[in-house]
Structures are given as C-alpha cells and as structure tokens.
Amino acid sequence: MDGFDSRTGVIIIAATNRPEILDPALLRPGRFDRQVLIDKPDLEGRLAILKIHTKQIKMGDDVDLRKIAQSAAGLAGADLANIANEAALMAVRQDRKVVLHEDFEEAIEKSVAGLERKSRLLNDKERERVAYHETGHALTAFMTEGAEPVSKISIVHVDWEPWGIPCSIRLKTDSCSVRMNF
C-alpha cells in the first residue's frame, strides 16, 4: 500500500472471517485506520442466512432449518453457506434427490470438528480412556448450571483435535442427551 500520494484519497475496504491469520504487515499503523468487528449471527441471523443458501436446494420433509441454525451456533455466514453446499453434496454422493436433516448434521460436524483422520487409529485401551475423558466433559457440562447441553460425543480423531470432541447445541431442555460414537 506504499506509493500512494498522501494528497490522494484512497479507500480500501477488506473483510475476513479469520483476522488471526492476516499478515502483520497489513495491520501496521497507517495501513488500515479502522477495524470494524461484526459479531457472528445470532439464531435468527443464522436461520435467515440458511434460508438464503438453501433456497435452491431440494430438502426432505425432516429438515428443520431452525434446529440446524441452533446446531450451528458460533458459525459465520460463509460457514453456513459451506454447510448448505456440503449437505447437498452428501445427498448427491448417496444418489438422493433431496437433502435430509442428517446431511446437514454431518456437514456441521465436518465444518466444526474437521475431517476424520483415518491415519490415527486408537487401540482398545486408548479408545476407552478417551471415551471416559470425553464423557467427563459431558458430565461437567450437564452438572454446570447455564452450560449448553451436550448433544453428542465423538472420539473420532479429527484435524484439529488430538482425540475427541463434545458437541453442544443451544436448546432449552431439562435433560441431557448423549450419543457415543465408537
């Protein structure tokens, strides 16, 4: 951005969902004078974004976009667009003409947790230890007032997690539903 005449008015607008990976040279004084942070969408915002990105997708009767929006808490609009596309691709791969709710759930898991790493297999003792560990996270969430309920526990090794991951969704419920994936 050097080389502009200081008397010339130049406005550059940029956007990113990943500010942590920006080159520090971009953020030096005098480069970008203002940074405007925009929060990720709330439930209604996610629902509206999903409606836009699923408008051209044929969905099964079991698809509830509100539940999908609840499951996608903390995701940005681009993530939601990716989830809609990934769910559609999953349906095509299974030779279906409509996208099912399970396709969206799997697409969310893929977006949040990453791809399963088949190169790292757990032996029975490691699998048991990780299952107990992740169950501990679920029990802690269940016993902690105000914590989001756990909807699923996975001990599948994914890109960014060394072992497993407890997944929470924002639902108002008095019970904790846990499904173990082995």
Provide the token pair at 117: 């790493």
CA-to-CA distance for 179 and 60, rounded, in angstroms? Answer: 24
Statement: residue 131 has pLDDT above 70: yes
Is the model more confident about 178 or about 86? 86
**What's the CA dihedral at 68, 71, 76, 78 to 10 degrees?**
-40
What percentage of the chain reaches a pLDDT higher than 70? Answer: 75
pLDDT level of residue 135 (50, 70, 90 thresholds): confident
pLDDT over 50 (residue 169):
no
Q: Is 109 a catalytic residue?
A: no
pLDDT band at 134 (very low <50, low <70, confident <90, very high): confident
Q: What is the pLDDT of residue 118?
A: 59
- The residue out of 64, 94, 113 marking a domain boundary is 113
Verify that 109 and 130 share a domain, yes or no. no
| pLDDT tens column, 102-127 | 999 989 888 776 655 555 677 888 88
| CATH number, position 73 | 1.10.8.60
> Number of folded domains in the chain?
2
Element (DSSP H or E) covering residue 166: strand 165-168
Domain end marker among 113, 138, 171: 113
pLDDT digits (tens, 9 = 90+) for 58-78: 999 999 999 899 888 888 899
Cα 72-54-60 angle, rounded to 5 deg: 90
Which DSSP letter does residue 57 get?
S
What is the DSSP annotation of 105-145? HHHHHHHHH--B-TT-PPPHHHHHHHHHHHHHHHHHHHHST
pLDDT at 147: 74
Closest listed residue to residue 107, CA positions, set 45, 163, 173, 63: 63
Crossing angle of helices 101-113/77-93, nearest 10°?
A: 130
Q: Exactly one of 105, 109, 134, 148 is catalytic; which is it? A: 134
Residues 52 and 108 in one domain: yes
| Domain encompassing residue 131 | 124-181
Helix ranges (DSSP H) in 1-123: 43-53, 65-71, 77-93, 101-113
Residue-level pLDDT at 174: 37
In a domain, 164, yes or no: yes
d(CA 65, CA 107): 13
Q: Higher model confidence: residue 58 or residue 159?
A: 58
Cα–Cα distance, 38 to 155 (Å, whole number)? 33
For residues 164 and 4, which has the higher predicted lDDT (pLDDT)?
A: 4
53 and 97 housed in the same domain: yes
Average pLDDT over every residue of 4-25: 77
DSSP 180: E
